[in-house]
Structure 1
Amino acid sequence: MIMPELSRLEWARMNLDQVRTQLLAAACGTRFLTPEQLECAAGNSKRACGSTTRRSAPRCPTHP
């Protein structure tokens, strides 16, 4: 089955949901995350947040 290409917003939501799931599992003790995995998760969430903010309202000049 061929998967349709995700929009930027769909991709961001998917990435944030995956990071959220990983962090919740780690917080509950059901999954161990190495420092490298945490760094990767942080990078994924940063990229996902960047994807969503570019499409949202203009930023406040005091908070670039």
Structure 2
Amino acid sequence: MMTNLEPMACGNCGHGLFRMYSAQREPSLKLVAQCNKCRSTSIIEPAPAALQIEFGEHSDGRLCCMRPTG
């Protein structure tokens, strides 16, 4: 569990689990968080359009885009 950080939840149903998607649209990158329960979506658009993802505490990997194989 992450300490000293505020947990986030769906603004519609209050559920706390999400699936993240990358919507690479010109001229900026947008992230879409979809609630696993009610499927409501929230769009995250960094401004300025620079996003850096680093390893978190007790992590072996970073958040990344999943590419279909085959």
Do the structures match in fold with TM over 0.5? no
Greater RCO (Cα-Cα under 8 Å, separation 6 or more): 1
Q: Higher helix share goes to which structure?
A: 1
TM-score range, shorter chain: under 0.3
TM-score by length of 2: 0.26
